[in-house]
Amino acid sequence: MVSWEAVTAISTAVTAVVIAATVAVGYRQIRLAGDQLEHLRHSTQLEGTMSAFADLETAEFRAARLFVENELDARMRDARFRDDVLVPFHALDESEHKEILVVQTFEKIGTYARHGLLDTVLIADYCGPLIREMWQKLETCGYFELRRKNNAYSAENFEYLYDAAMDWYDNDDPPFRTSRRPAKL
């Protein structure tokens, strides 16, 4: 006949094996859930990125971009236009101040990127040269200096986006490098 001590020892061993198996399965489930959350995060990021890129392809944004490229420097020499730049965005006439759309679009994208909702590397790869060009045009004509007289934080997330684009541009490695931009020595 089997003693109670043997039965207790066997049931304790079986219980330990069941607990160990439960822990292993639980650990695996946690890892799978983490992987699923990461995939969901990437999917959500992709949707947000595609929406941001769609904003950059609208006719209104293209017109605003061309305004910044071709007209803003001359318009900034007009005292009335310069005075208007000091006014909050919502109070400006967007038909006259088309640069607002460029600044606000990149400010929005920069906000999402700064908080991890959009991938800065992906954004820089897609539109880094555009970000760089728009920032530099606006900065060169004194636009940001005027905007920041009344709000020191004006376009701070656009600036974050510009810095991220410049960082990517200065430090990208193959496979992103093209033959037109040889590797640094």
Per-residue model confidence (pLDDT) at position 136: 95
Number of domains in the chain: 2
Per-residue model confidence (pLDDT) at position 178: 55
Environment class of 64 (CB within 10 Å of its CB; exposed 0-12, middle 13-18, buried 19+): buried
CA distance to 42, 145, 148, per residue, from 99 (Å)? 31, 15, 15
CA distance 139 to 50: 27
Per-residue model confidence (pLDDT) at position 41: 73
- Tens of pLDDT, residues 80-115: 999 998 888 888 888 899 999 999 999 999 999 999
| Residues 132, 81 share a domain | yes
Helices (H), the chain: 4-56, 59-70, 72-75, 79-85, 99-114, 120-140, 143-150, 156-171
| Residues 94, 4 share a domain | no
CA distance 10 to 183: 66
Residue 180 lies in a domain: no
| Residues 28, 93 share a domain | no
* Average pLDDT along the chain, 185 residues, taken 10 residues at a time: 82 89 86 78 76 92 96 94 88 90 95 90 88 95 90 92 88 57 55
| Residues 167, 97 share a domain | yes
- Contact between 152 and 83 under an 8 Å Cβ cutoff? The reply is no
Q: Domain of 12?
A: 1-43
